Amino acid sequence: MSDLVLSAKGVTKRFGRRTVLDSLDFEPAPGAVTVLLGRNGAGKSTLLKLWLGVLRPDSGTVRVGGLDPGRHARRVRSLIGYVPDRPDVYPWMTAGDLFRFLAPQYPTWNRDAQARLGERLGVPLDRPFRSMSRGEGMKAMLVAALAPEPPILLLDEPFAGLDPVVREEVLKGLLSEFRAGEQTVVVTTHDLDVAARIADRVAVLSSGRIGEQGTPEQPQELLQRINAS
């Protein structure tokens, strides 16, 4: 259960003079799907990267399963499945190459899950990323994030730029693999419809802090409140 806990306490992160996160306190519900809403540049991706340990807070603490990602990067990263907002792997890599490259690095990598999900989403295994569509690339990245069956899944705008059909496929694939109570999922998105369909909890990031939190029935209301304030 402790592996599922993500937390950020008093976290401030600046890029140059711009403060992106300002004394942020946030702990997504363990074992549930939390959708993080916010405008562009609100700091949603930054927060995910802090948990992933690829960024470090200027002040405050972030913890993943009780561990400091900066100090226990290897352990923390093996707990997390991460999907970036766009495929950022080598253009010459095929999905097959990617899976072969990643599998030995994750002790929990499940080849059956990889095969099943890859087939379900129609991931082309032999085509390099440079000749995949954005949707195909994102599907491959989703399979790569889910195959290790990580206790924590961080999805950074995974549906952005996808056409509705592909978005539906990805969404269904994600929902089919999600193990309620066994996985903590944080998804950043602008899409209120997606939020309503997958979220157990919704949080809105504004002015560097979590402004509002609520249930998935309320995202529109939450956003309106944030905008009004």
Helices (H), the chain: 44-52, 73-79, 95-102, 111-121, 134-146, 164-177, 192-198, 219-228
Query: What is the chain's alpha carbon radius of gyration, rounded to the nearest angstrom?
Result: 17
* Residues making contact with other proteins (CB under 8 A): 49, 52-56, 70, 73-74, 77-78, 82, 84, 88-93, 97, 100-102, 104-106
Q: How far is the CB of 82 from other proteins (least distance, A)?
A: 6
Backbone angles phi, psi at 81, to 5 degrees: -100, 130
Q: How far is the CB of 185 from other proteins (least distance, A)?
A: 17
Nearer to other proteins, 144 or 199 (CB): 144
| Burial tier of 78 (Cβ tally within 10 Å: 0-12, 13-18, 19+) | middle
Q: How far is the CB of 223 from other proteins (least distance, A)?
A: 28
Q: How far is the CB of 123 from other proteins (least distance, A)?
A: 17
Question: What's the rounded Cα separation, in Å, for the pair 16 and 7?
Answer: 24
Question: What's the rounded Cα separation, in Å, for the pair 88 and 95?
Answer: 12
Nearer to other proteins, 70 or 216 (CB): 70
Nearer to other proteins, 13 or 167 (CB): 13
Nearer to other proteins, 78 or 213 (CB): 78
